[in-house]
Each structure stands twice: as structure tokens, then as C-alpha cells.
Amino acid sequence: MTAMKIIKGSRKRTEADRSRLRDTVSEIIDNVMKNGDYALMEYNMKFDDCRRDALRISREEIDAAYAKVSEAELEDIKKAAANIRAFAEAQRKTVGELRDFSPSEGIRLGHRAIPVDSCCCYVPGGGYPLYSTALMLGIPAKAAGVRRITACSPVIKGSTEIHPKTLVAMDVAGIDEIYAVGGAQAIAAFSYGTEQIRPVSLIVGPGNSFVTEAKRQCYGKVGIDFVAGPSEVLVIADGQADPEIIAADLLAQSEHDREAKGLVVTTDERLGYAIEEAVKAQLPTLDTEEIAAASWEAYGEILLAESLEEAVEYANEYAPEHLEINVEESRIDDVVAALRNYGSLFIGGNTAEVFGDYASGTNHTLPTLGAARYTGGVWVGTFLKICTYQTMTTEAMMGIAPLVSGLARGEGLTGHARAAEIRMEKNGGKV
């Protein structure tokens, strides 16, 4: 693919950006493994000025959180939850059991979709209460049938409380256990266990670079959804697109954090420059202007493609977390059909990425930094294991054993061969 004209360039991420945290996170994990709850309480004090002995949130604290959330806010949370739940339950129905498949006479194969026993839903706190994430993680886990669903989130700085909207959303999502702890130390606790926290089988959810690195280092001891980096959106647009709408979508990503990325690939040069001007005009209207401006300055990018085909090729190579298609309606089907690598797709100018972030029903926990080349986002299937089984008759065993014996001896594994041959011998067969 030829190099595209750069209307607005960006800083390129390097491996060095991701490697600086490794030693720090490793120390945190080791500390939690050695010192358990004491380490967690120390980190709560250090990072959040939180003095709390009981890490688990009580039912009384959850009930008190409901009293701090308005009726309108609660209704919004429930409406979003209903859409997310409906989609998750529909997804669950697509993952069925395979029963009684027979590749040959007397052999019966199949698989079961078995939920993991337990999971932890990591819900970021930080500067904003991302309570929508509690819905996005807890609800599909519930739909999958996970028996023990836990969640954790940092407290409001200088307090002992998780944000009330986050607690309410966790409760609406059906989460069983909630803990006031965040950061890399939370990932370590749910991976290895402490006095107050039993380890889980799977950890899901987004977080800052410390959380992400901790998930990477703890993977193997615990399952994870994926290793995700800063949020990103790529917009494919032609001349009919509204520059102000695209600018708003770019800034919606940029305000996540200073590392977030907004990227446009357009076939219309005038649109590219109009988007750049629209971003500048809209930035001062945001309460998050400082963060959004820093993100856009460092990582915002506008590229000019010669054709939609070139734009699609670029998108497939980039494999973005969010991918918006804002092109002439007559071209939409062809563009969508050609796209292969993305976390979640938003088709047409009406379909804002933020709708998926909150309430349309699809999940907003998605792969970043090119991971969409090999995985999708969190869904019901994230919490399911596809486990195979088999059984066979004596006749079928006698038929397959010589084949397996020959293959095993061909690899030099005589123990494997004998496990097949002994069954033949005990049923009157000859090796």
C-alpha cells in the first residue's frame, strides 16, 4: 500500500512506551503475593488516600449508594442494562452444544459450552466513574452462567467509597461480590488470592497501563479477556460526511485519556481539513478539554486515501478498536463486506461509537493496539469454555486402535501406542 498524504500527523507508539511499566508492576504483584491484604491496604492509602480494613463492599453500602443516585439516573442505568442483557442473551443462544456427531460408525463426539466458575470484572475509577463498564462485564457473565461473579474498582480519592453510580450499576448487573481495590494490585489479588479475596478463573475489563501490564503478567495463573491499550477510533469517511459529527466522535475518544487515539481516513481532502478545524472549534466546549487536547495533539491523525478501497485496506492493517463507516449509502455494503479486522463496527453517520459505549447493547470492552487481528471484544463467549468429549463402542475401538498405534509408533511414543494396543489385545485382537 502506498503512503497516504498526511493532513494531520501523530506520534507513533513504541515498544519502549509499553516496557517502562514492567518492573514496577512486577514489584506490585510480588508484594501482593507476599503480603496479601496488607499490601492492598497500603496501596489504597498510597494511591487513593483510602483507609479501609474490609475490602469487600457490604450490602448496606450498596443500599446507601442507591439513595445517592437519582431516579432518572437509575432508570437510565436500567434501560442500558436491558439492551445489553437482551443482546447478551441472544448471543448465548448462538453458542450451543454439539451432540452425537459421528465421524465413523460407533464413535460419538461432541462439545459442551461450560461457563467458567468465577470471574472478576475490573471497573476503572480514576478521573471518571465508568459505571457503564460494570454493565458491559457483569451482564454477559451472568448470561453465560458464571456462578461467582466478582468486581472491583478504585474508591473515590480521599474516601472509603466506590462511586455510588458504579456500585448501583454493579448491583443491577447481578454481580455477587464487590471489592474496593483497583490498579495492578487488584489484578494480582484476584489472580493469586489474599486473606479477603479468593482468586478467580478469569479477569475481564479495561484499565490503565498498570492494570493492562498486570493482566499480561498474571496471564496463565488466571485467564484474561485480552491485553488492551489506550482507547482508539478509526473513521472511514468520504465527501458526504459531516465534519462536525466526525470531530465530535474523535473527541469522544480523545477525552478518555492522554494516550487515546482518534484517526480519520478520508477520500476527500477538503473534509480532512474541515475535520481538523471542527476539532479545534469543539475542544473549548469540553469540560475535558485539557485531556482531549493533549490526546488529539499527540495521537490524533487525519490521512487522505486515493479511494475507499485504499481506506479499507488501511483499516484492515490497523485493526482498530472502534471502526466507523461514514460514506455514501450506496457504498456502505461493499465497504462493510471488505472489512475484516475491528473490535466493533459502527455503520453510517447516524451510528455514533458512543451509542455502543453506553446503551445500544453491544459490548464496549474491545481489543486495541492491533489485537482485533486475532480476537473480538468481550461477549458471552468470553465466559464460556468449549469442552469436547467422546465415547465409542468396542467395535469402533477395535477399528481405530491400529490406526492410533501406527501413528504413535511413527512419532516414537510407544506408551501411547501400548495404550491403544492393550485394548485390542484384551478384546481378542492382534497387534
Would you list the DSSP string of 251-290? HHHHTS-TT-EEEEEES-HHHHHHHHHHHHHHGGG-TTHH
56 DSSP assignment: B
| Cell reading at 304 | 487522505
pLDDT of residue 112: 97
The answer to the question of residue 36 being in a domain is: yes
Enumerate residues 6+ apart whose C-beta is below 8 A from 70. none
pLDDT of residue 128: 77
57 DSSP assignment: P
Nearest Cα to Cα of residue 198 among 240, 150, 141: 150
Residues 182 and 328 in one domain: no
Amino acid letter, residue 135: L
Q: Digits of tens for pLDDT over the chain (431 positions)? A: 568 999 988 988 666 656 678 999 999 999 999 999 999 999 999 999 999 999 999 999 999 999 999 999 999 999 999 999 999 999 999 999 999 999 999 999 999 999 999 999 999 986 678 999 999 999 999 999 999 999 999 999 999 999 999 999 999 999 999 999 999 999 999 999 999 999 999 999 999 889 999 999 999 999 999 998 889 999 999 999 999 999 999 999 999 989 999 999 999 999 999 999 999 999 999 999 999 999 999 999 999 999 999 999 999 999 999 999 999 999 999 999 999 999 999 999 999 999 999 999 999 999 998 999 999 999 999 999 999 999 999 999 999 999 999 999 999 999 999 999 999 999 987 76
Residues 318 and 178 in one domain: no
Residues 158 and 136 in one domain: yes
Residues 323 and 193 in one domain: no
pLDDT of residue 410: 98
The domain that holds 50 is classified in CATH as: 3.40.50.1980
Enumerate residues 6+ apart whose C-beta is below 8 A from 412. none
Element holding 155 (H helix, E strand): none
Q: What are phi and psi of 299, to 5 degrees?
A: -125, -5
Residues 197 and 61 in one domain: yes
Nearest Cα to Cα of residue 140 among 362, 354, 356: 362
The answer to the question of residue 73 being in a domain is: yes
Residues 139 and 186 in one domain: yes
Residues 131 and 199 in one domain: yes
- From residue 132, how far is each of 206, 239, 307, 354, 380 by CA, in Å? 12, 34, 37, 11, 17
| Cell reading at 67 | 439513595
- From residue 268, how far is each of 3, 4, 24, 262 by CA, in Å? 16, 12, 45, 18
- Residues that are catalytic: 321-322
pLDDT of residue 129: 84
Amino acid letter, residue 193: G
Helices then strands, each counted (H, E), the chain: 16, 14
Nearest Cα to Cα of residue 388 among 202, 91, 114: 114
Q: What domain count does the chain have?
A: 3
Residues 218 and 293 in one domain: no
Enumerate residues 6+ apart whose C-beta is below 8 A from 131. 77, 123, 163, 165, 166, 168, 169, 170
- Put simply, whether the predicted model's pTM sits higher than 0.85 gets the answer yes
The answer to the question of residue 366 being in a domain is: yes
Residues 366 and 319 in one domain: yes
The answer to the question of residue 388 being in a domain is: no
Nearest Cα to Cα of residue 291 among 265, 261, 254, 316: 254
pLDDT of residue 1: 58
Enumerate residues 6+ apart whose C-beta is below 8 A from 248. 282, 352
The answer to the question of residue 204 being in a domain is: yes
pLDDT of residue 92: 97
Residues 220 and 235 in one domain: no
Element holding 134 (H helix, E strand): helix 131-144
Give residue for cell 442505568. 77
Contact assessment for residue 124 and residue 117, using Cβ atoms and an 8 Å cutoff: no
Instruction: State which residues form the domain around 270.
Output: 230-376
Indicate the residue among 224, 253, 281 that finishes a domain. Answer: 224
Contact assessment for residue 31 and residue 39, using Cβ atoms and an 8 Å cutoff: yes
Amino acid letter, residue 42: E
Residues 250 and 218 in one domain: no
Amino acid letter, residue 199: P
The answer to the question of residue 12 being in a domain is: no
Residues 134 and 41 in one domain: yes
